[in-house]
Amino acid sequence: VQLQASGGGLVQPGGSLRLSCAASGEVFNINVMNWFRQAPGKERDLVARITSGGHTEYSNSVKGRFTISRDNAKNTIFLQMNSLKPEDTAVYYCNAPITTMSHEILDVWGKGTQVTVSS
């Protein structure tokens, strides 16, 4: 079971990026899926999360600018990031506790995708 994130890159302040994260392997069920980020020299922080029912939560720093969404049929989440600021620069990670076909619950992390906001 793994999570694969994509969509990072370099963008100017005020620009937009869309991240994707897809789960693959022997996935039985995923309830909550999360986006975290880690800037250089800082701790990894929660950015947004979404449940299988569509309930969302955001950190105060991204509320109103970022939107998390989900395609349950494809076990995929998205993070639409608008009005990007230099302080959004970080490696973005997706994460989820995943119930496997053998009914183990694994805390799975993707490898991360770099987002750089700079002029």
pLDDT tens readout for residues 45-86: 999 999 999 999 999 999 999 999 999 999 999 999 999 999
pLDDT of residue 37: 98
> What band does 92 get if pLDDT is binned at 50, 70 and 90?
very high
Q: Give the pairing type, strands 17-24 and 2-6.
A: antiparallel
pLDDT of residue 70: 97
Is residue 62 a contact partner of residue 79, using CB atoms and an 8 Å limit? no
SS3 content of the chain, % helix, strand, coil (to 5): 5, 60, 35
